[in-house]
């Protein structure tokens, strides 16, 4: 029997026979915060023991300790496609030592898009897309002696060896759920929007969370910002696919009234010492939504000195092929307006997109040089094919040596930054050894 402490300050006595272990690695830790927070407020699971090991050796230790006290342990992994090669052998190794009392659960971008591939690789369950409700129902089933199968939003291999995927329930209401887990002291950015209407060919967001945007209300966001401020945390960041679409009913327009209401409520909740970061990492803005009015709101209420602008290419042909929904001129105008407003412009580009020709790359490089001349800084990425996107089956493109050398010179000068070189090496391996992809 374990005593667990929650944010209320009251001890909760747990008589549960299931432990939950999140593999809490740095790239994915924020994925677990809303899941743990949702479980904290679930009355049925009140007192659930949760642990958050950050290394493989700690994970193994947590499993051993949990199974000394509990009947079973559920081990949760959240990961994107680039992390798959490190996760699969770890799960295979853990299964040998701890199965069947350890149940391995996968969620996040890659498992959501390729659930069958993850199940065949050794996971017992996959939660697709939003996990707050599905995870709670799965844990309740296991605690009650069930097998966890049939829960909406989950996938598994049945007794006949066949892949099964249960349709998800209705989208969650962000206001009904916390953005992090105060009872376990797991804090981080506050998610204010889910979903994206654009479904760009390289991006999983629309597949994960739908094309209809949902927003956390200003009142709900301010509540959690005040909680952070009350704990002495001055800096607050938000998670959203496009900060300037906050409050928009379709995600394609700008709702200045909603933005102002959110930002004003945030400032009031955080107090004079608080710092709000809006439109900067870990979020960005679409270039066509960058206006003088939007930037004025940032300057008035937020503390960030930069705006992250999603450009992705300087070739209109490539932008159209990806379904971006904006033009090259929007990118240049957005950067110019941002710099004019006294903010730094960090502009995202993706290289190696399928079908990208040398001419497309020349145009992108010309746009990059124009942006740098304006005073912008370039954040460079390399295309990696992600399952459940329109470009999932496409091989990453190659770049002529002379153009790559130009990017390397810009990197050395500090005008261009990012993990594009490591991503390019990974993309080359994918192109040489394409992995089988399950439709999911």
> What value does the mean pLDDT take over residues 348-362?
95
> What value does the mean pLDDT take over residues 21-44?
95
Alpha-helical (H) ranges within 14-83 are: 29-40, 56-69
Token pair recorded at residue 285: 């803005």
pTM: 0.90
Scored b (16 or more CB within 10 A) or e, 375-396 reads ebbbbbbbbbbbbbbbbbebbb
For residue range 326-353, list pLDDT tens digits in order: 999 999 999 999 999 999 999 999 999 9
Token pair recorded at residue 199: 């479904």
What pLDDT does 428 receive? 76
> What value does the mean pLDDT take over residues 29-56?
94
pLDDT, greater one: 401 or 4: 401
Per the prediction, the chain carries an average pLDDT of: 92
Q: How confident is residue 88, by pLDDT bands cut at 50, 70 and 90?
A: very high
Indicate the angle between helix axes 56-69 and 84-98, nearest 10 degrees. Answer: 30
Q: By mean pLDDT, which of 2-11, 345-354, 364-373 is the weakest?
A: 2-11
Q: How confident is residue 7, by pLDDT bands cut at 50, 70 and 90?
A: very low
Q: How confident is residue 413, by pLDDT bands cut at 50, 70 and 90?
A: very high
For residue range 230-262, list pLDDT tens digits in order: 999 999 999 999 999 999 999 999 999 999 999
């Amino acid at each position: 029997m374990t005593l667990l402490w929650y944010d209320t300050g009251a001890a909760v006595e747990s008589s549960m026979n299931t432990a939950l272990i999140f593999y809490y690695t740095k790239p994915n830790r924020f994925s677990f915060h809303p899941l743990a927070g949702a479980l904290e407020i679930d009355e049925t699971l009140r007192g659930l023991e949760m642990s958050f090991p950050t290394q493989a050796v700690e994970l193994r230790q947590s499993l051993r300790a949990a199974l000394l006290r509990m009947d079973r342990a559920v081990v949760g992994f959240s990961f994107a496609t680039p992390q798959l090669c490190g996760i699969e052998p770890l799960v295979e190794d853990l299964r040998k030592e701890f199965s069947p009392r350890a149940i391995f659960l996968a969620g996040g971008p890659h498992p959501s898009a390729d659930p069958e591939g993850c199940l065949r690789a050794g996971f017992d369950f996959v939660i697709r897309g939003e996990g707050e409700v599905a995870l709670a129902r799965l844990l309740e089933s296991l605690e009650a002696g069930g097998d966890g199968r049939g829960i909406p939003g989950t996938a598994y291999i049945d007794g006949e060896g066949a892949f099964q995927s249960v349709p998800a329930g209705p989208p969650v209401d962000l206001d009904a759920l916390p953005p992090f887990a105060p009872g376990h002291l797991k804090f981080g950015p506050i998610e204010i929007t889910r979903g994206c209407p654009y479904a760009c060919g390289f991006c999983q967001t629309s597949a994960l969370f739908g094309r209809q945007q949902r927003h956390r209300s200003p009142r709900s966001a301010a509540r959690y910002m005040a909680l952070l401020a009350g704990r002495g945390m001055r800096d607050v960041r938000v998670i959203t696919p496009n900060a300037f679409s906050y409050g928009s009913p379709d995600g394609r327009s700008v709702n200045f009234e909603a933005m102002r209401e959110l930002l004003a409520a945030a400032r009031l909740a955080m107090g004079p010492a608080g710092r709000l970061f809006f439109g900067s990492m870990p979020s960005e803005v679409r270039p066509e939504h960058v206006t003088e009015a939007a930037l004025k709101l940032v300057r008035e209420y937020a503390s960030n000195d930069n705006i992250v602008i999603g450009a992705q290419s300087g070739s209109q042909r490539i932008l159209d092929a990806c379904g971006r929904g904006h033009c090259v001129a929007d990118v240049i105008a957005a950067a110019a307006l941002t710099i004019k407003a006294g903010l730094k412009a960090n502009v995202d580009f993706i290289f190696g997109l399928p079908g990208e020709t040398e001419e497309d790359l020349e145009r992108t490089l010309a746009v990059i040089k124009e942006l740098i001349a304006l005073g912008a800084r370039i954040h460079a990425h390399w295309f990696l094919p992600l399952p459940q996107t329109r470009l999932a089956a496409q091989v990453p493109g190659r770049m002529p040596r002379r153009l790559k050398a130009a990017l390397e010179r810009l990197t050395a000068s500090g005008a261009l930054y990012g993990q594009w070189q490591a991503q390019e090496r990974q993309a080359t391996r994918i192109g040489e050894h394409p992995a089988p992809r399950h439709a999911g």
